[in-house]
Amino acid sequence: MRQLVVQLRRVKDHSGLSLEALAAKTGYSRSSWDRYLNGRAIPPQQAVAALARACDADPARLLALHEVAVEAGDDAGTGPRQAPAEETPGRAEDGGGDRGLPGRGRGRWALASVAAAAAIAAGLTALVVAAPWDDGGARDGRAVPVGASSAAAPGKGAFVFRAGKDYPCTVRRDKDGLLYAGYSRTRTDLIGSGSAQWAVVEAQCLLRHHGLSPGIADGAYGTHTERAVKRLQERSHLSVDGVIGEDTWGVLRK
């Protein structure tokens, strides 16, 4: 789910569309997109495809991530629930989703909402938001991050963004022969524009170590960090998408 939200935010932010423009282009309301981009609900498959079309993006990866997120949520029985079928274009103007529904439909929607709220309370720890996503986005290295992960670095607790904080970067090679800065040991987490977590601090320190400045190591994945990642990907002959995944981590850790 976290990976899906990161990619949805990235596509939206790169398009330059406001939430109002996105709502106009997709037929899903501004409040619906606010829920989807904050990880409070998994968007319907049609909404993901509509976002891709509106932002001139390839829908294949987003739809694949959506399928995995839905299946993972169903298997675990926890986490954000997929938006109900009633939330379709033109019907969720203010996030209500039940306008024009008969009484029985409203009852089903109310029950679904209660169930979704309980599931979110139980399963949303992977998407704790230190600074909620808003329409401003992380436009530069000083901007408030659009989201945060609850993943804790050893001995550091859950990540909380602090504007202007520049974490010290001491990169060492561990016994496994790989480089670590002490903030995260991940080699697979998918992080990109809008992420804010310890893994971002780790990546920023490793980028510095490789001679690519991401700006300050504040844990917020803004445009400075994204440019540094793209330069690393380009010189390493990787796909240049500005998103850190398993291949890019492999280069950063060497």
Residue 57 vs residue 185, higher pLDDT: 185
Residue 42 vs residue 229, higher pLDDT: 229
pLDDT digits (tens, 9 = 90+) for 15-43: 778 888 888 889 899 888 888 888 888 89
Residues ≥6 apart with Cβ < 8 Å to 78:
119, 122, 123
CATH hierarchy code of domain 2-124:
1.10.260.40
Average pLDDT over residues 176-203: 93
Assign 172 to helix, strand or coil: strand
Query: H helices then E strands: how many in the chain?
Result: 9, 4
User: Which residue's structure tokens are 């230190």?
Assistant: 130
CA atoms within 13 A on the CB side of 132: 8
Same fold, 2-124 and 152-253: no
pTM for the predicted model, two decimal places: 0.47
Domain with residues 152-253, CATH architecture: Orthogonal Bundle (1.10)
Helix (H) or strand (E) holding 158: strand 157-158
CA-CA distance, 214 to 229, in Å (whole number)? 8
CB contact at 8 A, 252 and 179: yes
For the beta carbon of residue 125, count every other beta carbon within 10 angstroms: 13
Backbone angles phi, psi at 155, to 5 degrees: 75, 5
The full DSSP string for 99-145 is TT--HHHHHHHHHHHHHHHHHHHHHGGGG--SS---TT---STTSPP
Lowest-pLDDT range of 12-21, 43-52, 222-231: 12-21
The domain spans of the chain are: 2-124, 152-253
pLDDT digits (tens, 9 = 90+) for 113-150: 445 444 544 444 344 333 444 444 433 333 333 333 43
Tokens of 16: 């330059």
CA-CA distance, 77 to 193, in Å (whole number)? 29
